[in-house]
Amino acid sequence: MINFRLAVTLVICSLFISCVETLITINVLPDARYRMSIVSKGDKEDIENNDFTLPKSAEWSIKTFQEIDDETGDMIFFSSGESMLEGTNLLINNDHQNALRYPISVKLNKGVFSDTYILHQLFEGRQVAVKYPTLAQALLEPSDESRQITVFTEVMLYCIKESINNSQLQFDVKDLLKERIINHFNGAFYKAGEDGYLKDISQDNKNGNIIGLPEKFIRSNFKPFDEILPSGFIDSSLIGMLPCIDEANTTINLNDDTFKLISTLPGRVFMSNADSVYNDTLLWSFDLKDFTNDPYTIEAASIIYYPKKIQKAILVGTILILFVLFLIAKRKAIL
């Protein structure tokens, strides 16, 4: 959701202004259907950047609109969606595979004397520490600009490795050769950093993104292997890097997003991990730091008791006990 223009602001400098606010509401009905609403607001670029996307399916009513802020006079852009759902929903937008995923499930367990409602939603972890550890620290410490080039290098090396390893379905390349190529790129990025032109490389082919694919640099460092690689392998590897780079850009863009989720459940809430609970209304507040690595989980459960059923059961049970006691007493009297 941010477009860097200066070489020295590759990843850190302007990332961390809270620009997008998303409100998610989930109202669970007694029949376990649930009305879900999502409203995101921010500036035009933020809303259109697609790091957090609305589901794309026939069940959803989607609209975008804009309003003028009464206090600042700035134009605020909105993207909203609403749907009536039931059961488990993946909430996928196939146009943006690397966007944050947030599947949801609502279950109703019907009992003899009560019904239990279980809400479970998962905001999938981005696994940043595993993929590019320096970015994980940079997101937590936005004032430290020293990690910019290291972040770029880590993202590139991770994407090169992923692309090369995923090429095995299309090309027959031995694992040893793959390791040689990956080690060569490690050395190439290190030398570029030592020689002081890695910043220039990082600005290549960004196309408005935070991190772009430095195609010339990548191609030039594939040349030593050109004669021993299958035809088309280099082009395929470059194409294979793009989704991985897009994922890194999406993760960085998510750092200026904040989320609030409000849910209501039928009956009495007896279990939740919500930040606050008021009667049947639950509230969660979270952002990227909560799912930087591991998933952020929404959990809640409520119960509805049926007193009349309980009273009937007690009455029937009491009558049965009295009847048994009567039979026992009558048998003793006969004896």
Percent residues over pLDDT 90 in the chain = 61
70, exposed or middle or buried, with CB in 10 Å at 0-12, 13-18, 19+?
Answer: exposed
Residues 306-317: pLDDT tens digits? 777 667 777 777
pLDDT of 17 reads 38
Q: Sheet holding 88-89: strands in order across?
A: 88-89, 104-110, 114-123, 296-305, 268-272
Distances (CA, A) of 207 to 6, 9, 204, 214: 13, 15, 9, 11
- Of the pLDDT bands very low, low, confident and very high (cuts 50, 70, 90), residue 45 is confident
Chain Cα centroid distance, residue 64? 22
d(CA 182, CA 270): 52
d(CA 132, CA 118): 35
Assigned token pair, 277: 């609970």
Whether the model pTM is above 0.75: yes
Assigned token pair, 297: 């989980």
d(CA 174, CA 165): 10
93 close to 99: Cβ distance less than 8 angstroms: yes
Assigned token pair, 314: 């007690």
pLDDT of 13 reads 32
pLDDT of 205 reads 73
- Of the pLDDT bands very low, low, confident and very high (cuts 50, 70, 90), residue 96 is confident
List the chain domain ranges: 7-128+256-308, 129-251
Distances (CA, A) of 252 to 79, 124, 161, 220: 20, 15, 20, 28
11 close to 211: Cβ distance less than 8 angstroms: yes
- Torsion of Cα atoms, 49 then 55 then 58 then 59, to 10°: -140
pLDDT of 170 reads 82
Largest CA distance in the chain: 110
Question: Please, what is the average pLDDT of the chain?
Answer: 87
DSSP state of 212: -
73 close to 93: Cβ distance less than 8 angstroms: no
Q: What angle do CA 117, 119, 125 make, to 5 degrees?
A: 165
Assigned token pair, 111: 């009992």
